[in-house]
A and B are shown apart, each in its own frame.
Chain A
Amino acid sequence: MSAQRRFALVLVGGIVLSLSGMFLGWWWVTFATGVVIGLALPRTWTALAAGAISGLVAWSEPLIEANAQFGLGPTSLSIAAIMGANGAALIPIALTVVVGGLLGLTGSWLGAAIRGVAISRPSSRAVEKLGDQRLEVKDPVLTQR
């Protein structure tokens, strides 16, 4: 499976998983999904991007849908007022998307970090220098040993 395809699959799966969790009130699934993404994608930066995007999309999609159905304006203005930001309708929207993105990003960071440590546990100094790129493609760590 190509890296791009794997990335796309993981991303779409992450979004679906995250959305499903949120529908049940399990917002933390976005974070958990991020962790899984971090574990599943071998390149750290790719994992971080996928985690963040999955969180952003998953937390944006319901807003877009709600806006199409009945308009988000009054709701957003109300939440802004509750936050003490009268009239600033964009703030709750931005905050929501940022929270989703951060949950996905942080989760994927944690996942990637765990993966990095887990995989490097039997490592030598030389192996560490190889970095994530070599680890990802052919599992060169094991090959070299």
Chain B
Amino acid sequence: MRIVNLVAAVVVSAALLYVAFFGAGPLPALGPAFNPETGAWTMGADAASYGTQTLHLNGLQKPAKVVLEANGTGHITAATDHDLFLATGYVHAKFRLFQMDLLRRQGEGRLSEVVGRDALDSDRFELQLGLLRTAQKEWEQLPNDNPLRVAIVAYAEGVNDRIDEAKRTHQLPAMFTLLGYEPRPWTPIDSLIVKGDMTQTLNFTDTPLVMALLDKSLGPDLTSEWFPVLPPNSQSPYDPGPYSPRTDVGKIAPMRAVSDGEASAEASLYDRLRALPPGLIATGGASNNWAVARSRSASGGSLMAGDPHLHLTLPAIWFQLTMDSPSYHVAGVTIPGAPAVVIGHNQHISWSLTDAQNQQTFFYQEKEDKAHPNQYFWNGSWKQYTTVSYDIPVLGASPDHLTVKLSVHGPIISERGLTTSVWWAGNIPSQDFEVLLGLDRASNYQEFRDALRGWFSPTHNFVYADDQGNIGLISAGYYPQVAPGCEPWLPMPGTGEDDVTGTIPYDQIPQVYNPPDGIVWSANQRQVAADYPYYIGTALNFFDPGYRANEILRFLNDKLQNGGKLTAADMMALQTDTRDYLAGDMVPFLIRAFAGQTLTGNDKAAYDALSNWDYRMDKGSAAASIWWIFWQSYLSATFDPWWSSHKVKVDRTEGGNSNPLNDMLGQDLEAWTSRDPTNPVFTLVGSAQNADDVMRAAFHTAVVSLTSRLGSDPKKWTWGRIHTREVDNLAQISGLSYGPLPDSGDRFTPLAAPDFPSSHGPSWRMVVDWGAKSFSGIYPGGQSENPASRWYSNGVTTWWNGKYAPMLDFDHAASSPGAAVWSLQG
């Protein structure tokens, strides 16, 4: 009996200890996770540890100070530049260490190591694409005395100071405990990887694959017509020319027909890329920025506004910081893992950015032959592939071995059917942090522009305003060019003739400085007019349809009519503007389509609502719902028959009607409705003959759909019942997300809110008035990734309500109510 008792005790003990040590199923390792002294509970102690205190950091050369405002905004002042970056690393890691570790793991292909096989596809893809290889090259190319090298080394020291401290005091973020691992030391390469992550998210596209599949199914003629290089609708390029002539510009060739083999190979690769986690492939961009010259400003100084639109997460991608040292006096938002202010202002200039959307990703089909194993044909001879091998550690499994082949174009990312490599500007080593630090130090437009000369990828529209009343906008980055006659919008032959030959000269990239009308603006629209002499991408290459840019221009011009002047309050109002420019353009055509028709019931009520609408996508507006559902219905009615009859393999509505393909078709539909209502595209729709026929049918379908979904009373079809917004927890823990809650705006409004629910939008809003020397900013999140912290999501409500917080300088922050001061000692 006693033996039985002992055996039972051993078995039960073993089982309990196993679960406590290793976890079981969804349960984490219970022992370390729930240890009240060192487990997940320590997030409470961490949240309580932000008060005034003295801290000792290894490597600090002289005492420094950190001020944390009552809302968590950080201010660092240091006696040396080295110490500024070291303290920045420490502060970032103090508040965002788990996020930083995730970011580097994503780019380095090391997610599987902590989450298991679920992340293996992502890791394999990242290692194939090569962020790690690029970061390593960037690090190797940095001379020892380069200021950037000093900055990122000091930054890494600061991060490691915090990692050591957190380990010593058992204060590692709870997610480390729950996932059962500790962060390894931070290295300068990790910071370069974080930069690569952002480049990839904003810039790595699969558009040529999409174009190939469209070409194969719709045919080259329709594809050329529907997905042209230049947008078919009216847009507002900020740089309308005149342009310097280019002699070697080639005429855009008619699109070639894609073969069966190509289509099959591209379909396979397309499916693979689409199956990757969100964020690895850029599928759209949305950001706003604009500036107003002194002559147009009520304060007598230039105005500037910027709101980059990104995935809204808790913790946010941004960390708000003021950095002061002998060389730097800069405030704005930084990215945890990176030692520079990305968007902000210093004592003389301010800047913000939007994605430029030009084509920086090119696919090549390598020519191979069985007689030449492991080789590809290029420039008249067979060349050996370079290979790189990786062993990807996988939690709970043996390491996954990966061999990456590289041609002159870049990594081979598919060998199914055809061997496809990818040339991506993000793989060109570039010292983007050096550029950002140059912006942080710049004191006038010349220095600003000179600094941006080294910016390669992702191409951004950098808006500029300064304390002398000047404004400017420059779309800095590489604009890869291929030889005339090549088709960069499709996968190209890899035999050499279609290789990227260079980029547009810096002086000829889109840019304006102090334009005569006193305003500059960008919202991801095509920056240049039709006569710009260089290829920068097709309209499908996720340039925005231009509605936000048009609305921004309309708003600014309205205010400036009759000698009006603009104010910072106007800038703020425009950042939260909910007017849908496309609706303003299209609804009058819809109203006209019903001229002479008798409508009854809900059709009549919906028609009346649209007839009296101000085109604002407000959450309480029923007309907003009617418009949106109508527009989707109009798109479906027009294009679904073509998709069906031609068996198009690209999902038109992937991403909830918010993707570059649907946007492109929307531009077509807008143009045809207003200028070509008898286009043959409409003839596949039942008995329809023209746009009016299709619009009427689509309108009725929309009303039926809304009645079915929201009830029989059209007054209750408010936009907020359909359209909600949420701020996602970064680890996809729904209980730690904010929302979803009803919200205004849509994909095309300056207050961008695509998708249902929308988790993409203005990730940071900044307004600068150089006349009043006032700087305001807000982001939908909080400074801390710790969900138990008061600074986890404290900015969301302010942001949601369209309010701002003043961006204080160090001295004002130090004396602000509730501020905490950290004295840093070496």
Q: Which residues of A contact B (CB under 8 A)?
A: 19, 22-25, 27-28, 31, 59-63, 66, 69-72, 74-75, 77-82, 84-87, 92, 95-96, 99, 102-103, 106-107, 109-110, 112-114, 116-117, 120, 128
Interface membership of B178, Cβ < 8 A? yes
B43 interface contact, C-beta 8 A: yes
User: Do B788 and A31 have beta carbons less than 8 Å apart?
Assistant: no
A25 and B32 in contact (CB under 8 A), knowing A70-B44, A110-B10, A114-B6?
yes
Contact B34 A96 (CB under 8 A): yes
Closest CB in chain B relative to A7 CB, distance in Å: 20
Contacts of A27 in B (CB 8 A): 20, 31-32, 34-35, 38-39
A99 to B1, alpha carbons, bound, how many Å? 28
Residues of A within 8 A of B734 (CB): 81, 86
Tell me if B142 counts as interface (CB < 8 A to partner A). no
Q: Which chain B residues numbered 187 to 231 have a C-beta less than 8 Å away from chain A? A: none
B805 close to A (CB within 8 Å) = no
Q: Is B47 an interface residue (CB 8 A)?
A: yes
Is A82 a contact partner of B735 (Cβ separation < 8 A)?
yes
Asked whether, in the complex, the Cβ of B35 is within 8 Å of the Cβ of A25, the reply is: yes
Complex Cα spacing A79 to B40, Å: 7
A78 touches which of B9, B13, B39, B787 (Cβ 8 Å): B787
Q: Which 9 A-B pairs have the closest CB atoms?
A: A81-B735, A75-B44, A62-B36, A78-B787, A86-B735, A113-B9, A70-B48, A27-B31, A113-B6
**Chain B interface residue count: which class?**
35 or more
Per-position binary interface string of chain B over residues 774-811, scored 1 when its CB falls under 8 Å from any chain A CB and 0 otherwise: 00000000000011111000000000000000000000
Q: Is the CB of B170 within 8 A of A25?
A: yes
Contact B6 A117 (CB under 8 A): yes
A82-B178, A82-B787, A86-B735 given; name 9 further pairs at CB < 8 Å. Answer: A25-B37, A27-B32, A28-B17, A31-B17, A70-B47, A72-B41, A77-B788, A80-B735, A92-B40
* CB-contact partner of A110 in B9, B45, B790, under 8 A: B9
Q: Is the interface of B mostly helix, strand, loop or mixed?
A: helix
Chain B residues whose CB sits within 8 angstroms of the CB of A81 once the complex forms: 733-736, 787
Which residues of chain B are within 8 angstroms of A110 by Cβ–Cβ distance?
6, 9-10, 13
Assuming the contacts A22-B36, A62-B37, A102-B16, asked whether A72 and B44 have C-beta atoms less than 8 A apart, the reply is yes
Contacting residues, chain A, for B2 (C-beta < 8 A)? 113, 116-117, 120, 128
- B30 contacts the other chain (CB 8 A): yes
B residues within 8 Å of A by Cβ?
1-3, 5-6, 8-10, 12-13, 16-17, 20-21, 30-32, 34-41, 43-45, 47-48, 170, 174, 178, 733-736, 786-790
Minimum CB distance partner of B3 in chain A:
A117
B2–chain A nearest beta-carbon distance, Å: 5
B787: which A residues are within 8 A, CB to CB?
74, 78, 81-82
Q: How far is the CB of B476 from chain A (nearest CB, A)?
A: 41
B17 x A70 contact (CB < 8 A): no
Report whether A69 and B178 are in contact in the complex, using a CB–CB cutoff of 8 Å: no
Distance of B377 from chain A, by nearest CB (Å): 54
A59 to B20, CA, bound (A): 14
Q: Give A109 to B345 CA distance when docked, in angstroms.
A: 66
Using known A-B contacts A22-B36, A28-B31, determine if residue A78 contacts B17 with beta carbons closer than 8 Å.
no
Q: How far is the CB of B117 from chain A (nearest CB, A)?
A: 21
CB closest chain-A residue, reference B737? A81
For A28, the chain B residues whose CB sits under 8 A away are 17, 20-21, 31
Question: Hey, which chain B residues are within 8 Å of A63, CB to CB?
Answer: 36, 41
Which chain B residues border A60 with CB–CB below 8 Å? 36
Q: Are A66 and B733 in contact (CB under 8 A)?
A: no
Contact of B48 among A23, A69, A113 (CB under 8 A): A69
A116 closest partner in B (C-beta): B2
CB pairs A–B below 8 angstroms (22 shown): A22-B36, A25-B37, A28-B17, A31-B17, A31-B20, A59-B34, A62-B41, A63-B36, A63-B41, A66-B36, A70-B47, A72-B41, A72-B44, A78-B786, A79-B174, A81-B736, A102-B16, A103-B20, A107-B13, A113-B5, A113-B6, A114-B6
